[in-house]
A and B are shown apart, each in its own frame.
Chain A
């Protein structure tokens, strides 16, 4: 596809369950970002990757959150022992390179609801 693809688009889970959210960036983009957007708020930075390595994971809220990008393309955000406060839209973005131009290409997000 031409844009950033995120799956699933919607995920409903129960408190305490494990969740994986997948992001397929634009082909050739080396930088990949995860943001979280709560209702009525702006996106909140979680982590970004340059290639396979996490360049900055300072936005991950706690150790229940983890993200990987093993081959430098697709990334998976993993949330353990989900809590109701984790409910949000998780946005993935990519850019051609790690850059401070701010030009991020966002996917449509994965809406997570924790009951």
Chain B
């Protein structure tokens, strides 16, 4: 049973554009929702995270929007740059995390 569904599978955005990745979860007990960024051959690295008591969190060019009633959350990358090209994973959980399948983002100049 896939508990965290992520879309799209891949995304191509022009430099300067907005990248949007969506996730949906099923388990209402989840209380922590991080996004991880992974470059080829590297381990995932925490990008930004949110708790369900807030609807939005912004850190620099990265924003998480969270909709508790819909059990959905999304990552927005403003002013996308070629260096943002990577695979992004949403995750949800508490002490252990359930990850989505990932979104491969390509930012073209």
Q: State the A residues within 8 Å of B (CB).
A: 4, 33, 40-45, 48, 55-56, 59, 91, 93, 98-109
The B contact surface, by secondary structure, is strand
Contact B42–A55 (Cβ < 8 Å): no
A-contact 0/1 string along B13-49, CB 8 Å cutoff: 0000000000000000001111000000111111001
Contact A43–B95 (Cβ < 8 Å): no
The A contact surface, by secondary structure, is loop
Closest to B9 in A: A40
Give the contacting residue for B96; candidates A42, A45, A91, A107; CB below 8 A. A45
Query: How many residues in B have their beta carbons less than 8 Å from beta carbons of A?
Result: 25
Contact B102–A103 (Cβ < 8 Å): no
Give the contacting residue for A59; candidates B42, B96, B100; CB below 8 A. B96
Q: Which residues of A contact B101 (CB under 8 A)?
A: 40-42
